[in-house]
Structure 1
Amino acid sequence: MQVEISLKDVPALVGTELGVSDWITVDQTMIDAFADATLDHQFIHTDPERAAKESPFGGTIAHGFLTLSLLSAMNYAALPKIREQTMGLNYGFDKIRFGSPVKVGKRVRGRFTLSEARYRGAAMLMTTYDVVVEIEDEKKPAVSASWITIVQFDPKDRPETD
């Protein structure tokens, strides 16, 4: 069950790990669908036999951008819902690192630590999360990133700030 918090509570949570997502299995069907969507059919992603023979990975691996894109699903599963939020937007990333490949069949999950929260204008809260995408049973993460999002809300719901 997803936790719900108030907009006024968010700034006090800076520095706190706010959630860890459920595990997501990255299978060949997912990798192939991503390859089709992005037109990236490099053999290390889409040809299990060739990848087993010619790559150092022993089989196919997920695209780094596929792993990164799973942050959206992980976010919804792990982070508290902000009661006053009317919409959420991706703003961008300050830093992304692909630390370790995700081999086909592996499970990944995201850890989200709120590193910054500041109001912008009358109806936006900009949040920055330090995110790590872990690979089950591996020490090195698949992805580490600083992810910036915007929480949109009705201006009448903006809390008083000091």
Structure 2
Amino acid sequence: MTDTVLVTYGTTNGSTAEIAEAVADTLREGGLTARALPARSVTSVAPYDAVVVGGGLYAGRWHKDARWFVRRHRAQLAHTPVWLFSSGPLDSSAADRDIPPVRGVRRTMDRLDARGHVTFGGCLKEGAEGRIAKMIVSSGKGGDFRDFDAVEKWAKGIADSLNQRDHA
């Protein structure tokens, strides 16, 4: 059996979407069928054997589309293997140490009995949307702090977990 995995995300400026695409690519390399889709476009999780949900962090909260997705699909997600990721620190802290999930994501993990969570560095570049994002970039505190090697390693762990389940 080949598991079908949904990798869904909430993003404002696209950097979380790029992380989700990298996760989906790694899952496919691991022999799984994976689709990366914006959280707001997903109408059902029924076709999927597992779900990865990611959200950008904004002022200590997960992106609204990621929060909406888990609320809307909570009943089905409670019976599905789920992993969560956050993206956001605009510094090297995510590469230097494990960053625990923010409070709302921790509650989501507990409610869904999520298999895991990781926080990846964020990315905020010139042209970012939003007043606060523009202020951050203009103050010189933007940049790309994503570690795609770490993203790949984490996604390989998910693929290994799902593949082991299939062979158990």
Interval containing the TM-score (normalised by the shorter chain): under 0.3
Q: Pick the structure with more helix per residue.
A: 2
> What's the TM-score once normalised by structure 2's chain length?
0.25
Q: Pick the structure with more strand per residue.
A: 1
> What's the TM-score once normalised by structure 1's chain length?
0.25
Larger radius of gyration, structure 1 or 2? 1
Q: Whose RCO is larger (CA < 8 A, sep 6+)?
A: 1
